[in-house]
Structure 1
Amino acid sequence: MKKFLKALAVLAAVAALGFGFASCSDDDDGGSGPSALAAFTSTVRGGTETIYFYENNTWECYENTMGHIDKDYSGTYAITSGDFTNGTLDFTVVEHNGEELGWKTASLEIKDSVFYLKIYDSSDGVEVNNSILDKYVKQ
């Protein structure tokens, strides 16, 4: 009986140690960042762009070209009606590649989990709601 209890105690210690290692990760940020409420992806210019909308009313756009991911644009938003499936939000571009911008707010319409958007690098311009623009689809 003593051997059985000893073996059971050793097995429990090994299992606890294994769970401890499995629960830790080098890429865990501890939950300190904002949570994404929605993400939309567009296939553009030989790669993809993904826009994340966060619970703190900010958004970020990441460009993925051949596996290389860069933060491209960021800004703020406010939902004025509906939600991220069918709704309207005021959408402001604040930053491009780490450089602060002074662009105005555009009213972005989301219909059936899709919106159309184009942000111009060479001018203070944002176009929205036109099907000839880049199409972003909710993930």
Structure 2
Amino acid sequence: MQNYRLGDYIRQRRQELNLTQEQVCAGICEPVTLSRFENGRQTPSRTRINAILQRLGLPDDRYYALVTPEELEIEALKKEIVACNALKHVNEGFDKISQLEKIVKPDDQITQQFILRSKVLLGGLDKRYSSDE
């Protein structure tokens, strides 16, 4: 399955309609902001993305299927951590967990639980954690 970033989707549709960034973002945001969205350097607010998608004639429910570069990085790290656990690469796994902890948002409870679970599993392999903990 191929992953698409929201900005790629916006740029593609804008170009299909032969619209400039200025035309698309008029009254919504600055052209430089739209450029950042398209290049994945900034994540738009839900309000702005709804307005941009509406202007491009796209349903805003597609927004949920698209991911940001940060989300892609988080998912890639999670896969690598699972692989480290399966292959018993404990130190590499803990390195990946540290990377994940730096980018995950504190309110992302699912990923926070994943981190705790992974620490326990990897820590059990090298006896960092006992079964009592």
Q: Please classify the TM superposition score into its range, dividing by the shorter chain length.
A: under 0.3
Bigger radius of gyration, 1 or 2? 1
How high is the TM-score relative to the length of structure 2?
0.24
| Richer in helix (by share) | 2
TM-score normalised according to structure 1 size:
0.23
Larger relative strand fraction? 1
